[in-house]
Amino acid sequence: MVLNFLLLFIWTGSIPVAASPPTLQAWAEGVTDLPEGCFQKTLNCAVLFSSPTVVNWNGQSLHVGEGSSLLVNRDGVFQLLAGVVWCPKWENATFRHGNFRWNLQGDVELEKSDHRLLIRNLDGRVTSAHEDLPAGFENWYEGLGQGNEVLQGVARPLQWDVFVSSWLQLAQEPASRLRELLSIYRERRGQAISLSSDMYKKAVQSRLVAAARVEHAKTVAERASQREKVKLHEMMLRRYFHPEE
């Protein structure tokens, strides 16, 4: 992670910055931004968090996990390089991962490990050009394969125990607020379970219909082939037994 961060510094280090801008260290212990002070300016910026931190970015409270790192470009587009980040109220935030971009609104958590980004829609809206993720669902994304196919999982209801275990270490809120949020998330997850049942039924039905169409097309093709064979056989018989015709 340190090596990646240094490489990011090399990439962003050529951008000029003010002589002595206010730095993150002045108001968030354990946070390093490169170039120094860039996180509060409209610059390409790499930010490393050495401890769980809550930072304010454009009026939005970001709860960032220990060891997490973010890349923010001058257009305000985020990229999570490692770790986890949760915002209880995203406002039209844009996150990028590989070839994909998502617009986040409301309560969403993102977690990055290796090349895989996991998005948990806790109580918000997650939209993109290739897929919308409903509230109460989670899904992982990697990017595009060699054949330009989308490498991603299947949207499923929040994996509750795994989510709660990690989220409680991240969310720095009063106990009463945590209980309130967990109640909301549990309700959204329950709705997702009901919705996923319908989604899976439709997916199975769609696959059955597709399989039936393939089988029908195969049968039609086999019958056509058989008719051609019969016609060819009859033609050969006529030529052999009735050459004068």
Q: What is the DSSP string of the chain?
A: -HHHHHHHHHHHTTS---SS---GGGTSTTEEEESTTGGGTTS-EEEEESS-EEEEETTEEEEE-TT-EEEE-TT-EEEEEEEEEEEEEEEEEEEEETTEEEEEEEEEEEEEETTEEEEEEEEEEEEESS--B-TTEEEEEEEE-TTS-EEE---EE--HHHHHHHHHHH----HHHHHHHHHHHHHHHHHHHHHHHHHHHHHHHHHHHHHHHHHHHHHHHHHHHHHHHHHHHHHHHHHHH-TT-
At which residue do the structure tokens 């206010």 appear? 22
Q: Which residues contact 116 (CB under 8 A, 6 or more apart)?
A: 140, 141, 142
Residue 116 pairs in a beta bridge with 113
Highest-pLDDT range among 77-81, 204-208, 212-216, 225-229: 77-81
Give a yes or no: residue 38 inside a domain.
Answer: no
Q: For residue 202, what pLDDT band results from cuts at 50, 70 and 90?
A: low
Give a yes or no: residue 118 inside a domain.
Answer: yes
Give a yes or no: residue 157 inside a domain.
Answer: yes
Q: Is the pLDDT of residue 10 over 60?
A: no
Give tens-digit pLDDT for 98-143: 778 899 999 999 999 888 899 999 999 999 887 899 999 999 988 6
Give a yes or no: residue 149 inside a domain.
Answer: yes
This prediction's pTM = 0.69
Give a yes or no: residue 131 inside a domain.
Answer: yes
Give tens-digit pLDDT for 31-62: 777 777 776 665 678 888 888 888 877 777 88
**Dihedrals phi, psi of 199, to nearest 5 degrees:** -60, -45
For residues 86 and 80, give the distance between their C-alpha atoms in angstroms, rounded to a whole number: 11
For residues 96 and 107, give the distance between their C-alpha atoms in angstroms, rounded to a whole number: 17
For residues 207 and 190, give the distance between their C-alpha atoms in angstroms, rounded to a whole number: 26
At which residue do the structure tokens 């899904």 appear? 139
Give a yes or no: residue 204 inside a domain.
Answer: no
Looking at residue 23, what is its pLDDT? 41
CATH number, domain at 86? 2.60.120
Q: How many domains does the chain have?
A: 1
For residues 158 and 118, give the distance between their C-alpha atoms in angstroms, rounded to a whole number: 11
Looking at residue 14, what is its pLDDT? 37
Range of the domain at 112: 51-175
- The three-point CA angle 236-239-242 to 5° equals 130
Give a yes or no: residue 58 inside a domain.
Answer: yes
**Dihedrals phi, psi of 139, to nearest 5 degrees:** -160, 155
Angle between helices 160-170 and 175-241 (to 10 degrees): 140
Q: Is the pLDDT of residue 164 over 90?
A: yes
